[in-house]
Amino acid sequence: MAYLGRQPIIGNYQVLDAITATTTDTYALTKNSVAVYPQTPANCIVSLNGVIQAPFDSYTISGSNIVFASALTGSDSIDFITVLGDVLNVGTVSDGTIGLAKLSATGTKDATTFLRGDNTFASAGESNTPAFLAYITGSDFSVSNATWTTIGFNNAIVNNGSGFDTGTYKFTVPSGQNGLYSFSAGFQMESMASGNTIEFSIMVNQAGSYQSTISDIISASQTFKRTTTRIVNLSVADYVEVRIYQNSGGTRSVSANSAYFGGYKIIE
């Protein structure tokens, strides 16, 4: 709605119950028989004997009472008392009058977010980002004898948040994305012989308490397959990789069409 001149002021306007004058200076103020407590004489309009009274000089307010400067008589007429609204009280706000700019909540305010109980805006539904899924393209990946080797996942079919590096084969926690993560990995290695040992690990920072290793001693010549999943709590700049160790006495290969490494941040 448009206005010419100044927009009307919104207030908690109340015309109080009628009061019959008697031989006293103090009268209770009510609205529908419920006590009213004006916060100052200045937000009241009082008509006595057809004359608007001056606040403070002609009357004061004490709690839910009006106190006139002198006692009235039964022949006086309190025409009406109107309260214009409480101090800093806009009364009942009309529908559609408060916009996002008036809210004190933090976060991004747009069509994709909602206001949470802690007075912050969050993405509706949220997403498990960062998230990635990487694999090996081209030739099989060679693993030297008796050496811990980072498996070369050189292609990412998913890399939301750009945390996975296909050059270093590592996922690094981006700025502002610390939290709980789930990782999984799997591989297949050909031509393993009886007595060979394979160790397969999802490692955080190549060591520390997050290192989790699966170790197997081959019982017979076979193609060896393993998968594993880890849930870890990570800080910004922590990096995660899949490393493998084998002691067959020579180089062995991780099959390009079988290996994968994936992970995502868990919504908490």
Residue 165 reports pLDDT greater than 70:
yes
Residue 17 reports pLDDT greater than 90:
yes
Residue 32 reports pLDDT greater than 80:
yes
Q: Are residues 71 and 138 in the same domain?
A: no
Q: Are residues 79 and 136 in the same domain?
A: no
> How far apart, in whole angstroms, are the C-alpha atoms of residue 21 and residue 101?
49
The burial class, CB within 10 Å (0-12 / 13-18 / 19+), for 65 is: middle
β-pairing verdict for 65-68 and 26-28: antiparallel
Tell me the residue range of the domain where 62 lies: 14-83
pLDDT of residue 5: 54
Position with higher pLDDT, 173 vs 99:
173
150 phi, psi to nearest 5 deg: -75, 125
CATH number assigned to the domain comprising residue 219: 2.60.120.40
Q: Mean pLDDT of all residues in the chain? A: 85
Q: Is residue 124 part of a domain?
A: no
pLDDT tier at 208 (50, 70, 90 boundaries)?
A: very low
Number of domains in the chain: 2
pLDDT of residue 26: 95
Tens digits of residue pLDDT in 141-162: 999 999 999 999 999 999 999 9
Residue 180 reports pLDDT greater than 50:
yes
Average pLDDT rounded to a whole number, residues 133-144? 94
Q: What is the percentage of the chain residues whose pLDDT exceeds 90?
A: 55
| % helix, strand, coil for the chain, step of 5 | 0, 45, 55
Q: Are residues 258 and 139 in the same domain?
A: yes
Q: Are residues 167 and 230 in the same domain?
A: yes
Q: Is residue 47 part of a domain?
A: yes
